[in-house]
Chain A
Amino acid sequence: MATRKPPAKPNTSKEELLTFYREMLLIRRFEEKAGQLYGMGLIGGFCHLYIGQEAVVVGLEAAAEEGDKRVTSYRDHGHMLACGMDPKGVMAELTGREGGYSKGKGGSMHMFSKERHFYGGHGIVGAQVPIGAGLAFSDKYKGNGRVTFAYFGDGAANQGQVAETYNMAQLWSLPVIFVIENNQYAMGTSVKRSTMSPDFWERGASYGIAGEAVDGMDVLAVKAAGEKAVAHCRAGKGPYILEIMTYRYRGHSMSDPAKYRSREEVQKIREERDAIEHVRELILQGKHATEDELKEIDKEIKAVVNEAAEFAKESPEPALDELYTDIYADTAPQNA
């Protein structure tokens, strides 16, 4: 991972830095709590944590406007928190409870919020990419000036449907930003071991799609790149690719022992490149807040997460008749 170039004078404000700090910390504490609840058996199945990648969604959400859409894979908790979904509803979905965003029927990988324009939470690697282009298609059809962020990983970037989607998105000039969150490992397979042309963003060139690689551990760099991509899309110039170089500190899922990389590799990035530490330093250096004031924020975030966890534990399991609802939009089960 390239070392971060320290900005001479960060193009930001006190408010923005504190917001970034707060939002990234919320994701990290939330995910730590989710890991803990998983260990207690309160969360089941697959649970993919976002720890380490927080700057990606927080930076890009800062570039989005109200009404813009987002869609992502199963590593989706961070995206939901960053776009303003309620941590209580997200955590309660993880525990499979009635108060969850999908009433407990979707789980960690399948959550949606029409209100926040969050279109999932998709469990099949790469499937969200054409769906993202389709969301952008609907916006272009309506001429409403909205853009869609279609997030996927370095693993999904090798899926055939991604290439199919690049072609159509450029052909039809769709306002979609393809966000490749390159955390360097597709489950246990490193980019080096799976990929012939490891600069994923350059693949857009064969379709005429503009793009760039971005330091994903620097939330300001992510936001700046996001603004550029959004402007490109809103100007009707078609899709844009952002390959955001990031890193996940935890395993692929909760059940991944992560033997494919060394402890030292992870430790080194945590110590030298952590996105939250970076913002914390900028805040302290710029004297935007004192250590004590930051501690106060930490406490607030912890309270929000604890409240979400309590809600997720207290919320009842879905009523048994929920088994047969929401299969069809107009009626209950039709084939019974």
Chain B
Amino acid sequence: MATEILMPALSPTMEEGTLAKWLVKEGDTVSAGDILAEIETDKATMEFEAVDEGLIGKILIEAGTEGVKVNTPIAVLVEEGEDADAAVKAAQEAAPAADADGKAASGGGSAPSAPAEPKRARPVAEPEIPEGTKMKSTTVREALRDAMAEEMRRDGDVFLMGEEVAEYQGAYKISQGLLDEFGSRRVIDTPITEHGFAGLGVGAAFGGLRPIVEFMTFNFAMQAVDQIINSAAKTLYMSGGQMGCPIVFRGPNGAAARVAAQHSQDYAAWYAHIPGLKVVQPYSAADAKGLLKTAIRDPNPVIFLENEILYGRSFEVPVLDDFTIPFGKARIWREGKDVTLVSFGIGMAHTLEAADALAKEGIEAEVIDLRTLRPLDTATVIESVKKTNRCVTVEEGFPVCSIGNHISAVLMQEAFDWLDAPVINCTGKDVPMPYAANLEKLALVTAKEVVEAARAVTYR
């Protein structure tokens, strides 16, 4: 009886990978635990082991193939003495999910798919990028790394510390190559002591350095939140302006995929609540780069919220020697007259998808990416609402005391007479993130909900 070997999912967010190398060939006998292949995810190169014993009947995907979807058959394992070709044929016919070109449909238990990449990958107006600038396709991951590397070259007082940032090259590969370039004095692996190293970073900032403190995820920053709020955010005020804290706390924030309640929270609204902090949550790679460079130069504590699902996304990034984006400036990704959709971070992916869908229905949405949550560019939102008279906010965080709630209040106070419908806040659901794939899907905000909200405020 032949068994198909499928492309494995090697991280919570992996959807495809590169089959870098086969370590077995057709005709080899393997037992459970033998290493079959090396597979490159966007985070690391992983060894892939056999689960069953048998003979490698046929290799279906050549070494070096990129973009192999999770669950695609990559080889067929046959029993000793079995006719390999016949067994392979039988196995392929027996697998109903496999389509003609051998690509498997994703299984029911796989991670909920991240929102589709919108067709229009570039915003309409990019005031920071001069006309004619060369653009380069870059992942958010590379953009963040480039931003840190450029700032570290520029200023010897900038250093990076956090769990696995140096020798491991970053738990999410964000700091890849930084240890090699800057050495262990400036790229520092910490023990797993968030409270302690956040406080140590604050002290280093008081002492005149410019620390970048990476949290493996912002879920773990809860252990350090006293140092972030009480020490970093408040000291300038408490010292009558004498002692500031130029520090960046950065790392992935919000839900990844299938990592459940303690690893899937969006903290945007929490940090945006605090005077003394600046809070950034970029969507595109260009914004990730330009805003992180600004964050590192800022003399205040900056909370820089990234997103694991976006790390592997590619966007056009301008090729400029020193590309920075000012805080407090929202970006209009799409102009429209019928409804204003306001979002930030990964919420933008759902929002742009929704805007495309709405356009097909004849609803022209204006899409605003807030980019920074503190300072918040309410002026751009108000201006847009004065034009569209309707607003829907979109975010992944919990509904109570959300960023959307705040924007609704601002619009009520400052644009009440222009509103033709109540503002709707699309958010994550008011539940701890469930693990089960179907429930997780329900808990997250979706493009469909945004479309429905837009229809509701436009009374269609």
Contacts and interface: CB of A to CB of B under 8 A. Distances in A.
A123 interface: yes
Contacts of A69: 207
A145 B276 CA distance: 32
Interface string A100-126: 111111100011111000011111100
Contacts of B231: 122, 124, 127, 131
A327 B275 contact: yes
B299 A329 contact: yes
B195 A160 contact: yes
A71 interface: yes
A15 interface: no
B276 A328 contact: yes
Interface in B152-197: 157, 159, 185, 188, 190-191, 193, 195-197
Given A124-B226, A327-B275, A135 B237 contact: no
B300 A328 contact: yes
Given A124-B226, A130-B200, A130-B202, A102 B236 contact: no
Given A112-B235, A168-B196, A141 B203 contact: no
Contact of A106 (B226, B238, B299): B238
Interface in B4-54: none
A285 B328 CA distance: 68
A137 interface: yes
A102 B236 CA distance: 9
A129 B241 CA distance: 22
A85 to B, nearest CB: 12
B240 A328 contact: no
Contacts of A101: 239-240, 242
Nearest to A323: B237
A326 B204 contact: no
A327 B236 contact: yes
Interface residues of A, number: 51
A173 interface: no
A137 B275 contact: no
B251 interface: no
B240 A335 contact: no
Given A130-B203, A134-B202, A335-B275, A165 B241 contact: no
A141 B328 contact: no
Contacts of B203: 71, 119, 130-138
Given A131-B202, A168-B190, A326-B236, A138 B208 contact: yes
Given A122-B231, A123-B230, A330 B237 contact: no
A194 interface: no
Contacts of B227: 127, 130-131
A124 B230 CA distance: 8
A182 B113 CA distance: 57
A102 B237 CA distance: 8
B376 interface: yes
Contacts of B226: 124, 127
A56 to B, nearest CB: 21
Interface of B: 157, 159, 185, 188, 190-191, 193, 195-209, 226-227, 230-231, 235-244, 246, 275-276, 278, 298-300, 327-328, 374-376
Interface of A: 69, 71, 100-106, 110-114, 119-124, 127, 129-139, 141-142, 160-161, 164-165, 167-168, 171-172, 325-330, 333-335
Given A141-B159, A334-B374, 18 more contacts: A100-B240, A102-B239, A112-B235, A112-B238, A120-B243, A122-B231, A127-B230, A127-B231, A131-B227, A134-B203, A164-B196, A168-B190, A168-B197, A326-B236, A326-B240, A327-B236, A335-B275, A335-B376
